[in-house]
Amino acid sequence: MSPALERTWTVLRAVMAALIVAAIVRQLAASIGSAVEYGRDVGTVIMNFFSFFTILSNAASAVVLAGAVVWFVTRGRHTAGAGDREPHVLAVALVSVTTYMVITGIVYNLLLRGVELPQGSEPVPWSNEVLHVVAPLFLFADAFVAVRRRPLAWRETVWVLLFPVVWVVYTLVRGPLVTDPTIGPGYWYPYPFLDPNNPDLVPPGYAGVAVYVVGIAAAIIVVAYGVVWVGRRRSSAASRTSAAG
């Protein structure tokens, strides 16, 4: 990638990070406004908001993209050559958030788009599309065109699983302890497929939840390996080009 294209993509990364933050803030403001309007507990609504995998993945993506921009501006743009790769920790973080965002886009558009929500909890349309479509597509593209991606060992995909595992445990432990502020039952889960009380689960109860968790975990592993494969392939191509030059 030429220096001009590197700078252009870095600017796009900064714009996307800002857009993600704006979308999260706008949706949070709408959620708090609805809570006040309908007399719901605002603290619970805020905690629930930041318990969605989508919100956490997007927030992490904004932080990592911003970190990539800072690295490029402070160091990356002052170095040149195929051997000048992003820091290892940044490479792992980018593979992780790219995987989470691709999974977010797939799960939302296959399982959750069109699911009826309780009154007063409707998403902000533009924010919803940014968080579930635009940002996932950008992170997917980032794996193919971003500046100087560092190739990672296959074993490092294990780091990608860390956050989803912690989040699932947190969700299943917290779920029975929270009262849904929108409809009032003695539990709350961010997604229908994680709710053991959901009558549509097959098999019912926690067995049905386990089926979805295992399926999504498998998808995460596949996507993570795919992202790492892209990085390794791009690195090999860059090395060959540098050697030929």
pLDDT in tens, 208-219: 999 999 999 999
> Mean pLDDT over residues 221-231, rounded?
96
Buried b (16+ CB within 10 A) or exposed e, 144-170: eebbbbbbbeeeebeebeebbeebbee
pLDDT at 72 over 70: yes
**How far is it, in rounded angstroms, from Cα 183 to Cα 165?**
28
pLDDT in tens, 134-162: 999 999 999 999 878 889 999 999 999 99
Domain ranges (residues) in the chain: 3-244
Which of 148, 62, 66 has its CA nearest to residue 97?
A: 62
User: Both tokens of residue 219?
Assistant: 């998808």
Q: Please report the pLDDT score of residue 186 as a whole number.
A: 85
Q: Please report the pLDDT score of residue 8 as a whole number.
A: 93
pLDDT at 80 over 70: no
Q: Are 193 and 212 in contact (CB under 8 A)?
A: yes
Q: Please report the pLDDT score of residue 185 as a whole number.
A: 76
Q: Which of 2-16, 92-106, 111-125, 190-204 has the lowest mean pLDDT?
A: 111-125
Q: Please report the pLDDT score of residue 82 as a whole number.
A: 43
pLDDT at 20 over 50: yes
pLDDT at 33 over 60: yes
pLDDT at 5 over 70: yes
Q: Please report the pLDDT score of residue 25 as a whole number.
A: 97
Q: Please report the pLDDT score of residue 243 as a whole number.
A: 44
Secondary structure (H, E, C), 204-244: CHHHHHHHHHHHHHHHHHHHHHHHHHHHHHHHHHHHHHHHH
Model confidence band, residue 240 (pLDDT cutoffs 50, 70, 90): low
User: Both tokens of residue 213?
Assistant: 């968790």
Cα distance from N-terminal residue to C-terminal residue, the chain: 14
On average, the pLDDT of the chain sits at 89
Q: Please report the pLDDT score of residue 76 as a whole number.
A: 63
pTM to 2 decimal places:
0.91
Q: Please report the pLDDT score of residue 117 as a whole number.
A: 59
pLDDT at 114 over 90: no
pLDDT at 79 over 70: no
Helices (H) and strands (E) in the chain, counts: 8, 0
What does 30-92 look like in DSSP terms, one character per residue?
A: HHHHHHHHTT--HHHHHHHHTT-HHHHHHHHHHHHHHHHHHHHHHTGGG--STT-PPPHHHHH
